[in-house]
Structure 1
Amino acid sequence: MAYQWTYYSLLALASSVLSMVLFVILYRKRRVPGSRVFMVLLLALSQWSLCEFLHILYTGLGGILFWSKLSYIGIVMVPATWFIFSLYYSGRDKYVNTNNVLLLSVVPFITLVLVLTNGSHSLIWDNITLSQLGSIVYYVKDYGIWFYVNMIYSYILLSVSIYYIVDPFSTSFSLYKKQRTFLLIALLIPWVANILYLTIGPALYSIDITPLSFLMTSIVMLYSTFNLGFLDIVPIAQKNILENIMDIIIVLDNSNRVAYINEKAREFLTGEDGDIVGKELSGLMPGWTSTLEYLSGDINGREGIITEREGEKYYSCAISNLHQRQCVLGTLLIIRDVTSSIKYELRINKLNEHLSLINKILRHDISNNLTIASFSIEMMRAENMEMKKRAMRSISRSIELINRMKDLEMVISQGDQLKRYKVSEVVAEIIKNYPSVKFNVKGDCTILADDAISSVFDNIISNAVMHGRAERIDVEMGVEEDLGIIKIMDNGIGIPDDVKMNIFKDEFSYGENKGTGIGLYIVKKVVERYGGDISVSDNSPKGSIFTLILRMAPKSL
């Protein structure tokens, strides 16, 4: 038995070996959906190439026909496995079931049977003879009708496979586009080689160059495997993800690399250079320590919601696994801006603190004041003037406390909606309540405030009159850039330096006519809510100056 060693046979052998090398490399990814089908495809390519090597190696007609027939095991499997793999790759694996696979195998099975029994019907080949070109011996044949049936069937499967591979990526990002491009090259190289063999080959010599082209296919897929994460970053058909969803969508592979992002996520990560897909999440969002720590755990337990803070914004990150055929495909992050919800929650907590303060004051201070008043009234039978004054002071303090409760209630009930207020008009209404005090009002400014602004000025003026014993109060208003400056200056007894440091604190009171200690505390809180500031200093020659700095209202408001 004679053998012939040619470049063609060596290329066919190299193609078979390289396909098996790729099979071994991809074996570690066998749990990725679709990978096992691709590995079967590699086995088919390797078997076809090996049989082609042995077919070229032999010079006898019997050996040539034997290996040619055996090569059809791989020949009929390649189009079908390409097609099934394309279903997995494009997210259509729901169509991969036993019935469909059996239906898909009908033509390949008939073809294989007809190849093995060709001598009795010649539906695959006919008129088989040996020929020679130089030192190369090859066989010449005519093709039967079923050969063309199988060819058309195979070409249809390959055409649909190309469509399925391309279709999901019409709007995908560059890493998937590169994967797609190399996958298409790997598919098209042997297909074009097969077309050339069937059209031009018979006019030259009948050596099938299709298996030789598998060498290029394997090289292309090796590059895609090592450089583009083929069968590592598994694509998800984008029609299954709402591109226009308002939430930030990030899909990670099992190595926490970005496999997909929607447009909102791209806007969220605008500070990143280049293509984001394929990069590790830890490099894109280093400040999200809780999320990154959570993702570093067991891949099968990635289900939960984590709240992250970035600057003044709060985000809720819902983490869940993506499954396909009971395999963990990757991790889905749905990130939502919950700043408003968190701020409302913080505001509710603050309101609860204020309500707790109200409750404490009502239970303690009013109860004490009324107890003192009741006891003092009982003593009034003795015509004790000091007891009468004490009773009146307690009753007055209770009335003041109730009024301050109204102020505090107004502060709590006000939302964040601010509007225009002319300070001169607000002050004009307040001074009507103090007929015994001489007021001097100068200037004006229009500020951003709400109804609680009346309580601000009333508290300051009341504090000057009741505790500072002021008989004259000057109110000066002016504008500096976009800020309104209001100074309330009295000629009272003044405020000691150690008191100034604590005067705006909750429940701090001083002097003979101690109040509840919440009046100026309310003032401070209201002014801060307006985005302003308040301070106190000494007046000359005596008294105090309360300075308020508030935002000016825009003319368009």
Structure 2
Amino acid sequence: MIITMNTPELFIFLLLLGSACITGAVSYVLHSQLEKRGANWLLFTAATMTGWLCCDALIVAIPDISIKFAVSGIKFIFVILTPLAFFFFSLAYTGKYEGVSGWKRAAVALLPAVSICALLTNPWKHLFYVELANPSLWVYNHYTGPEGIWFWVNLVYSYALITGALLLLIGLFMSSPQHFRRQIFLLILSALAPFTANIIVIFTNVGTDTADITPLFFALSGILIFITVYWMHLFSIMPFARTRIITEIHEGVIVADGNGVVIDINSAACTAGGVTEKEAISLSTDTLLTGIFGITLAELSEARSLTVSHTNAAGETQWSDLTVSRVEGYDAQSGGTIILIRDATARRRAEEEIMAKDLRLKIAMEGAGLSSWEWREGPGYVTYDNPLADRTIENVTTIEGFTDQMKRCLKDGYEATLDEQFENILSGGKNTFSVEFPVENLNKGHWIQITGQVIERDEDNRPIWMVGITQDVSTYYAARAAIMEANTKIKLLTSITRHDVLNQVMVVRMLIELAGMEPKDAMSPEVKEIVTKIDNAAALIEEQISFTRDYEDLGTYTPSWQNVATVAAQAAGVVSRTGISFSCNTGTLEVYADPMFRKVIENLFENAQRHGGGVTALSVRFDYRGAGACLVVEDNGRGVPDELKKRIFSQGYGKNTGFGLFLSKEILALTNITITEEGTEGKGSQFVMHIPAGGYRGYQGE
């Protein structure tokens, strides 16, 4: 087939081919930016325009009428798809594509799909064209004859799609700052030029064979789109981002151009400054910032970020965080600055409240003579928060190093106490420690107490984070020394008094005994009865005075943390030769009790052996009950009758050892521990010591 063209046809062919090259170049440029929103639809639009132009060029160049007609049918597929692709591009570029559901987008594409079907079936249905036109005409577009009904349906729908796309772009143009308007204007012009040309051709030459000049305007469209994409970086500054981000975020945003003039401001910034968008736009940034926050752009730029106070329209003091960033445009003139405004009022008030709480805590700690410390393995330092001096000790990267660092504060002879406690911490047996030691001159009575707790352990169960307090307990030691001295004097006085009273009681009883040695008829029955009563009274006095010997040590010494398993093992010595077995499941449990706590356990064991009736096993166990816990001492003897469960704790019981359950109850009461008997008669006794919350620690369970 030989292609021959006259001069007009050759001219039009070259115009069409040049336009196709331009739109093809646009497709090539867009191909590398498909990850940017809307670029794929603009590429599709440019591709359909290129296909439209290539088909028109072939119609001009190919002399065969049947081929011209076939290519004309293919061309109209691109004619149908071009408005649809441009409409979807406008949706994506303006940020509304995601807001349109999938079925609605499918509905928009339904009629173009029907149009393509009508075009493919045109030889049989003649919905697009009824007959062939005169093939002798040189015009390239009208080798098809009079239009069918679906041609007009598709035309009206295509015009509606293009109109909708233009309205979307115009709306974006009106709401965008000056910086974005140039590229949007070129996009509108690239669609408006061929659209206007097509309207002129369709409605001024209906039914004639005049050439369609619409494709020739695609060259202008391609040039304009190429400029917006390549030189104006169409997808580098996305206007829909302004709508989605700047407009909708809670932080205030002020955009200034290179001359420091406000070109954009969102509603949050207007609210923070008490101005309207119309008042702010075109104002100097310095004027706006000075009027609202009392600072200039230069001051803010130098600091990069500031927290400033200002008064809102209601006269309330507000705080705002201001941050400025330099934005580089696509050329030197398009750069500017963005100022972010974040409401910091709630944070500032929270900080002030925290500062006030910290101050109150500091005052309280100073008043109590307390200071805090913290050690973390990661940073490898110990931080001391002391009212007199804050300091940090570096390079303490292990728990062993931390232990060594603390030993430097201890006097000789006290390191072993710390070693013992830290051994339990390293083994996971306990999470707390407390050590008291003298500093400076021991004779001056200056004592310090260090208490710590493990907050976090690593996968190997080694401590990696510990916190604690250091307290000056010199006053406490001085008071305790004074109390001990007073108790010593009282004990001495009591001992002397008791000795003298018992001596006098002994004299009375000796006299009574001498009186009893008289002949039977020397005293009347009445006198003998009186003498007997005097003897009984003297015996009771002697018994009560003797009881004070056991009671005088009660409360003399300060309560302390005592390991229950250790105390129970020591107390079990009183029944070690009786054949009674003993067990204890308390592990590392410690209770806060009087130093005579061991005497209590010994008394319970001894009572079980003396009064239990064939006891063969004793046990000590720990139970949680409500807010507190219980330490249970039980046996497998005959138990305690119900009518005696309360009476056994009254004064007067337990005289075999001189250390009855009454005194045990009193010793436990010194640290708010109560004791009850809760066993079942015939199954064994069960003495339950109820320990209040905070009175026990270190229990790891079985």
The TM-score with structure 1 as length reference comes to 0.50
Report which structure shows greater RCO (CA 8 Å, sep ≥6).
1
Q: Which has the larger radius of gyration?
A: 2
The TM-score with structure 2 as length reference comes to 0.40
